[in-house]
Amino acid sequence: MSKKKKILFVAYGGGHVNMLLPVVQTLLGQGRHEVLVLGLTTAASVLARAGVPHIGFRDLVTEGDEAALAHGNRLSEGVNSDLVPREETVAYMGLSYADLEAEQGIDTAAAIYAERGRHAFLPTRTLERLLASYAPDLVVATNSPRAERAALLAAHKRGVASLCLLDLYPSADGQWFKEDWYGSQICVLSNNVKDILVGFGRHADSIVVTGNPAFDRHYTFAPTDEVTSLRAGQPVVGYASNILPGCPEGDLQLEVFERLRARCARKGYKLAVRQHPNEARWRDLGDAIDCNGMPIEAYLSALDMLVTFPSTIALEAQIHGVRVGLLDFTSLSEACAYLFSGDVDAFNTVEALDDLVVDRRAGERGTAGTTSATANVCDAIENILEGN
């Protein structure tokens, strides 16, 4: 009997872990390969709820990391999360900072961190250490920066095959997608996205159109009593907030919420709010409905319109036939405008939300995404492993 191949998955929370989770569950169920998942920050809680064994940065701490942990304790002061244990935060911050210091030197690392915070992290040395101890045949990550990008870079340095799943779209400058080290292959949402990566200089043979596995669950969802209750009565407007690059945490997102809350009150709409898992929860929602604990499929199927920034959830809403109000005034807007089609309203300013009008939808599902993305990604994994 041939020896099982080893696959290392690396994922942050939110849409990133949700994209990899169906693939991990499928591979675990098949039992043909050995699977290890590094769940970063809030991804760990998602994996735990799904019953998927995983490790974190605290499991990567070894003898000699005392200085790194000292950095972690210092940098994590005041950082509290119900989803991420403090021990994990200390290890993540500390090992990441130690890698930055090893690469840049003490003074330069301090200056870079002071300017960019955790956005400066690229813990390649720590990920190389994991690869050396686990010896995977394949590394799978998404297009998230920091530790996921470090995992792909570490794999390249060590001559290990890798697969990157691009959730939606590349940034306008192509980021790292044009680089050979950024995944032996890249899985993308559509042929349109593939063409864009080819335009950046990525070789077409290294790009596989699979769809996004996170979308598969929407096609099999059946409405629940919770959905029926939320949809009863007035039209339902959803607001899905997000973490925005280059935006002070919470300022713009909260401004949008307050504007929407006032508009919905005037028009007699229900406002159903869902925040990004990494956002600090707003304390005063007023008459708005807190849907943070509601399954994403149920939340979207209850809406008549979703107001959100360009993100995965906007495409997911279209699968449910929900009209999307796209907040079209951030650095993300131009990069992903081509992904959205059909019922989309663009709001170019926060003030434009004062004119929001919502009608009841018929409830038919849309056509975004693909129902076989998980199988497609699993096929891509098998093809890489067979070629090793």
**Element at 308 (helix H, strand E):** strand 305-308
For the structural domain made of 6-212+371-387, what CATH number should be given? 3.40.50.2000
Residue pair 360/232 in contact (Cβ under 8 Å)? The answer is: no
pLDDT given for residue 369 in this prediction = 47
pLDDT given for residue 11 in this prediction = 95
- Note the CATH architecture for domain 217-355: 3-Layer(aba) Sandwich (3.40)
Please identify which residue in the block is written with the tokens 């709010």.
Answer: 273
pLDDT given for residue 279 in this prediction = 83
How far is CA 356 from each of CA 165, 257, 264, 337, 380, rounded to the nearest angstrom? 35, 13, 9, 20, 43
Write the pLDDT tens digit of every residue in 34-83.
Answer: 999 999 999 999 999 999 999 999 999 999 999 999 999 999 987 877 78
pLDDT given for residue 326 in this prediction = 86
Beta strands, E only, 128-210: 138-142, 161-165, 185-188, 207-209
- The three-state secondary structure class of 47 is helix
* All CATH 3.40.50.2000 domain ranges in the chain, comma separated: 6-212+371-387, 217-355
pLDDT given for residue 366 in this prediction = 53
Encoded amino acid at 154, one letter:
A
Residues of the chain with pLDDT under 70: 1-2, 172-175, 245-250, 329-343, 362-371, 388
Q: What is the pTM of this model?
A: 0.74
Q: How many Å apart are CA 70 and CA 52, to the nearest integer? A: 30
**Element at 15 (helix H, strand E):** helix 15-30
Residue 212, C-beta contacts closer than 8 angstroms, at least 6 positions apart: 19, 165, 167, 168, 189, 312, 315, 369, 370, 373
